C-alpha cells in the first residue's frame, strides 16, 4: 500500500478535499434553507389556511363523475340516453358493525345476495373512507322509506346519478353495444383516478370503442365533513367535463326495416354509403336487449342468452366468417378482365361439370344440365360455376390473391367497432404456414366460386361491394359520423377515410362486370330477376349460396332432408342505383338456402327503404 501513495502530492490532495468538503457543505446548506423556507411557508405563513383544513373537521376529496355522452343516429334520433336513478352507498369507515347495518338495511330495502356479494368484493379493494355502492336503481318508494330513517344510518347515503338506457332495446344492439359496471379487467386498462366516480364503462360495440370520447373527465371537490362524515361545505370544486355526444352514421329507420325483414332468421346485413364508407345499417340477428346488461344481468337470463342455439350474443356482422359463395364471382371476373386473362365476350362451354386435365374428379355446376356456351355476362347473371372454375384455373391462386386482397378480402376493414375478425383470403404462403401443405389446383377452382378456404365477414363483403360500385375507391367503413362536445353545440365530423384507390386498367372492364351484375337483377335469366320486376330504380347484385355441408361426389343436395343448421347460407350483395350508387348492401341469411330466394328479397327491402326517401314525395 505504501508504494501506491508515494507518487501522490499529499498536501495538494488534502487541500483539494477540504475545499470540496466546504463546497458540498454549502450545497447542503442551500438545499436545507429551501426546505426551511418551505416549512416556514407551510407552518407560519399558510398556517391559518391549513389549520382550517384540518381543525376538527376532516377533508375529503370526492370525485364528481362526468355525464356520459349520448348517442344519436344520423337523423338525431336518440339511441343511448342517461336516465336519473338513485343508488345506496356505504362508507365502511364510518360504520362500526357493517354486517348489522346491512341486515338492518335489508329489512328496509330489498337487498339481494348478489348485491351483498358485489358489495363485499368492491369493499375489499376500496379504501375504507371511500363510499361503496350497495344498491342501484332504488325505486321512489325505497328512497322515501330510507329518507325517513336516514338519521339511524350514519355512513349510509342515497346518491342521485344517471343510468344508461337504450330506448330502442334490441334494435342495433350489436352496433351500439352496452355499458356495464366497471370490473377488475376494466380496472387494468383504465386510469383509475379518472374513473373514481364512475360506475359504468363501455363493454362492447360503439360504447366500448368510443369509451374515451363518451366518458369525459372526472371532476372533484374537496369538502369539509363533520365527525359523522356528512359533508358540511365544499372548499374547492373542479367541475367534471362531460363526455362527448356521438352521432352515428346509422339510420335507425333503415336499421329497423332491415331487422324486420329478417324475421326470426339468423344472419347479418350491412348497408354502406359507397362514396363515404358510412355504415347505414348494421344488423346481426338475432339480437338482445342491451338494457339487461347495464345493471348486471341475472345468471338465468344470461345463461339463456349464452346457450341459445342461434347465439344472439354473437356479432355476426363483424365476427361471422362465411364462405362468400357466388357473391365472389364479380370480383374474380373483374380480376380476369383487368389482368387480361379473359375478355368480355370470350365464351366457355359449360356441360354441367368441370374436370382438371387428367383427373377423374368432377367439379359440378349447381345446374346439373349445364349452362351451355356462356360469356362473362351470362356467367355472372346465371351464376355459372364452370365458367369460374375455368377462369380461376387460368388465373391461378397467386393472381387471384394479388387481385382480390386490395378489395379487403382477408383483412379487417378497420370499422370503428372492436372485435372484428379478418376472414381469410387463401394463398400459397398461407397454406404452407397454416396447413404445412402445398397448394393444389383443385383448391384454386373452388376459390373461384367463393368456396374452399375463402372466408368473408358481412362487413367485408359489403365494403368490397361498395368499392366495386364506385370503381375502386375503397373507403374505410365507419359508424360514427360526428362528435359533439355538449348539447346544442356544433357537430365535429369524424370524416371519411380513403383506404386505397384501386388502379383501373380499363374502365370498360368495370362497366362490364357492373353491367352483368345489373343483369342478375334485371336480365331475363338473372338469378335474382324476381326482385327486379317492379323496382323503381336499377339494382346491380349477385346472389350466393354458401355450402355449410360438403356433399359426396354423386350425392344430390336436398334441403328437405338436411337438418336446418346444415342447410346452405343464403347470400346477396347489391348496390343501387347502378349509376351513381347511393347504397351498397351485403345480406347473409344463415341456413337460408339459395341466395335468390331468401337474401335477395331482404336486400331489396333495404334498398327500397333507403332510396324511397331520396325521391321527392
Footprint on this chain of another protein (rule: CB under 8 A): 1-2, 4-9, 12-14, 16-18, 20-21, 23-25, 28, 31-32, 34-36, 38-40, 42-44, 46-47, 49-51, 53-56, 58-59, 61, 63, 127-129, 192-193, 196, 218, 220, 222
DSSP string, 358-380: T---EEE-SSTT--EEE-HHHHH
Cα(545)–Cα(568) distance, integer angstroms: 6
Question: First-to-last CA distance in the chain?
Answer: 107
Min dist CB 151 to another protein, Å, is 23
Q: In the complex with another protein, which residue's Cβ is closer, 5 or 360?
A: 5
Q: In the complex with another protein, which residue's Cβ is closer, 37 or 486?
A: 37
User: Which of 605, 543, 616, 535 has its CA nearest to residue 577?
Assistant: 535
Q: What count of residues does the chain have?
A: 617
Helices 140-149 & 98-108 angle (0-180, nearest 10): 130
Looking at 85, 326, 469, 596, which residue is catalytic?
Answer: 326
User: What percent helix, strand, coil does the chain show, rounded to 5?
Assistant: 40, 20, 40
Place of cell 329507420: 253
Place of cell 328512497: 143
CB 519 within 8 A of CB 377: yes
Q: In the complex with another protein, which residue's Cβ is closer, 75 or 226?
A: 226
Q: In the complex with another protein, which residue's Cβ is closer, 132 or 513?
A: 132
Cα(88)–Cα(157) distance, integer angstroms: 6
Q: In the complex with another protein, which residue's Cβ is closer, 44 or 124?
A: 44
Cα(489)–Cα(469) distance, integer angstroms: 36
Helix (H) or strand (E) holding 483: strand 480-484
Cα(397)–Cα(493) distance, integer angstroms: 41
Min dist CB 4 to another protein, Å, is 6
- Residue 277 DSSP one-character state: T
Q: Parallel, antiparallel, or unpaired: how do β-strands 353-355 and 362-364 relate?
A: antiparallel
Q: Other CB atoms closer than 10 Å to residue 430's CB: what's the count?
A: 16
Cα(386)–Cα(329) distance, integer angstroms: 11
Q: Parallel, antiparallel, or unpaired: how do β-strands 245-248 and 71-72 relate?
A: parallel
User: Which of 421, 462, 428 has its CA nearest to residue 443?
Assistant: 428
Cα(319)–Cα(330) distance, integer angstroms: 24
CB 605 within 8 A of CB 586: no
Under the phi-then-psi rule, with left for phi > 0, alpha for psi from -120 to 50, and beta for the rest, what region is 599? alpha
Q: In the complex with another protein, which residue's Cβ is closer, 13 or 298?
A: 13
Q: In the complex with another protein, which residue's Cβ is closer, 94 or 101?
A: 94
CB 425 within 8 A of CB 410: yes
Question: In this structure, what are the phi and psi dihedrals at residue 353, rounded to the nearest 5 degrees?
Answer: -155, 170
Cα(387)–Cα(365) distance, integer angstroms: 9
Cα(160)–Cα(418) distance, integer angstroms: 32
> Is position 570 annotated as part of the catalytic site?
no
Q: Three-state SS for 324?
A: coil
Cα(402)–Cα(383) distance, integer angstroms: 23
Min dist CB 27 to another protein, Å, is 9
Q: In the complex with another protein, which residue's Cβ is closer, 35 or 304?
A: 35
CB 456 within 8 A of CB 322: yes
Min dist CB 28 to another protein, Å, is 5
CB 255 within 8 A of CB 279: no
Q: In the complex with another protein, which residue's Cβ is closer, 32 or 498?
A: 32
Q: In the complex with another protein, which residue's Cβ is closer, 54 or 617?
A: 54
Beta bridge partners of 583: 576
- The residues, any chain, with a CB within 8 Å of residue 228's CB and separated by 6 or more, are 94, 154, 155
Q: In the complex with another protein, which residue's Cβ is closer, 193 or 405?
A: 193
Q: Which residues are designated catalytic?
A: 326
Amino acid at each position: 500500500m505504501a508504494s501506491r501513495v508515494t507518487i501522490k502530492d499529499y498536501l495538494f490532495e488534502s487541500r483539494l478535499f477540504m475545499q470540496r468538503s466546504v463546497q458540498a457543505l454549502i450545497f447542503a446548506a442551500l438545499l436545507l434553507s429551501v426546505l426551511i423556507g418551505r416549512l416556514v411557508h407551510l407552518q407560519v405563513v399558510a398556517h391559518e389556511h391549513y389549520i382550517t383544513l384540518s381543525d376538527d373537521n376532516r377533508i375529503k376529496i370526492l370525485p364528481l363523475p362526468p355525464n356520459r355522452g349520448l348517442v344519436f343516429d344520423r337523423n338525431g334520433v336518440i339511441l343511448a340516453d342517461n336516465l336519473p336513478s338513485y343508488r345506496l352507498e356505504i362508507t365502511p369507515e364510518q360504520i362500526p358493525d357493517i354486517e348489522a347495518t346491512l341486515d338492518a338495511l335489508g329489512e328496509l330495502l330489498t337487498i339481494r345476495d348478489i348485491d351483498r356479494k358485489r358489495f363485499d368484493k368492491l369493499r375489499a379493494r376500496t379504501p375504507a373512507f371511500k363510499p361503496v355502492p350497495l344498491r342501484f336503481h332504488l325505486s321512489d318508494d325505497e328512497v322515501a322509506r330510507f329518507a325517513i330513517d336516514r338519521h339511524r344510518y350514519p355512513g349510509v347515503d342515497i346518491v342521485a346519478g344517471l343510468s344508461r338506457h337504450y330506448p330502442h332495446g334490441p334494435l342495433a344492439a350489436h352496433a351500439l353495444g352496452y355499458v356495464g359496471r366497471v370490473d377488475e379487467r376494466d380496472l387494468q386498462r383504465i386510469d383509475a383516478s379518472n374513473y373514481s366516480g364512475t360506475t359504468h364503462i363501455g363493454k362492447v360495440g360503439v360504447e366500448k370503442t368510443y369509451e374515451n370520447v363518451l366518458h369525459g373527465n372526472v371532476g372533484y371537490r374537496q369538502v369539509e365533513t363533520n365527525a359523522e362524515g356528512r359533508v358540511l361545505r365544499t372548499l374547492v370544486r373542479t367541475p367534471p367535463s362531460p363526455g362527448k355526444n356521438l352521432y352515428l352514421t346509422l339510420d335507425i329507420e333503415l336499421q329497423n326495416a332491415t331487422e324486420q325483414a329478417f324475421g326470426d332468421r339468423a344472419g347479418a346485413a350491412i348497408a354502406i354509403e359507397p362514396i363515404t364508407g358510412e355504415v347505414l345499417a348494421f344488423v346481426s340477428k338475432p339480437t338482445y336487449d342491451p338494457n339487461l346488461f347495464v345493471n348486471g344481468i341475472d345468471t338465468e337470463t344470461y345463461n339463456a342468452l349464452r346457450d341459445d342455439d342461434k347465439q344472439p350474443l354473437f356479432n355476426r356482422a363483424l365476427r361471422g366468417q362465411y364462405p362468400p359463395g357466388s357473391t365472389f364471382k364479380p370480383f374474380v371476373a373483374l380480376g380476369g378482365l383487368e389482368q387480361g386473362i379473359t375478355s368480355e365476350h370470350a365464351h366457355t362451354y359449360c356441360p354441367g361439370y368441370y374436370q382438371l386435365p387428367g383427373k377423374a374428379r368432377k367439379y359440378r355446376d349447381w345446374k346439373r344440365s349445364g349452362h351451355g356456351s356462356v360469356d362473362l355476362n351470362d356467367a355472372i347473371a346465371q351464376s355459372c360455376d364452370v365458367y369460374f372454375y375455368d377462369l380461376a384455373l387460368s388465373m391461378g391462386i397467386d393472381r387471384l390473391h394479388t387481385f382480390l386482397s386490395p378489395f379487403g378480402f382477408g383483412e379487417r376493414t378497420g370499422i370503428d367497432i372492436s372485435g372484428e375478425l379478418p376472414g381469410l383470403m387463401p394463398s400459397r404462403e398461407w397454406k404452407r404456414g397454416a396447413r404445412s401443405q402445398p397448394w393444389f389446383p383443385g383448391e384454386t377452382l373452388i376459390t373461384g366460386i367463393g368456396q374452399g378456404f375463402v372466408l368473408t365477414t358481412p362487413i367485408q363483403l359489403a365494403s368490397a361491394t361498395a368499392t366495386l360500385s364506385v370503381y375502386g375507391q375503397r373507403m374505410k367503413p365507419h359508424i360514427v359520423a360526428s362528435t359533439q362536445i355538449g348539447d346544442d353545440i356544433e357537430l365535429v365530423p369524424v370524416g371519411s377515410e380513403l383506404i386505397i384507390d384501386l388502379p383501373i386498367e380499363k374502365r370498360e372492364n368495370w362497366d362490364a362486370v357492373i353491367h352483368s351484375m345489373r343483369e342478375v337483377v334485371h336480365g331475363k335469366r338473372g338469378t335474382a330477376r324476381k326482385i327486379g320486376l317492379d323496382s323503381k330504380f336499377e339494382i346491380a347484385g349477385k346472389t350466393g349460396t354458401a355450402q355449410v355441408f360438403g356433399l359426396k361426389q354423386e350425392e344430390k343436395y336436398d334441403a328437405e332432408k338436411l337438418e336446418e343448421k346444415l342447410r346452405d347460407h343464403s347470400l346477396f350483395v347489391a348496390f343501387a342505383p347502378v349509376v351513381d350508387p347511393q347504397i351498397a348492401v351485403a345480406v347473409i341469411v344463415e341456413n337460408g338456402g339459395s341466395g335468390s330466394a331468401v337474401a335477395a328479397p331482404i336486400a331489396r327491402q333495404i334498398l327500397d327503404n333507403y332510396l324511397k326517401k331520396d325521391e321527392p314525395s
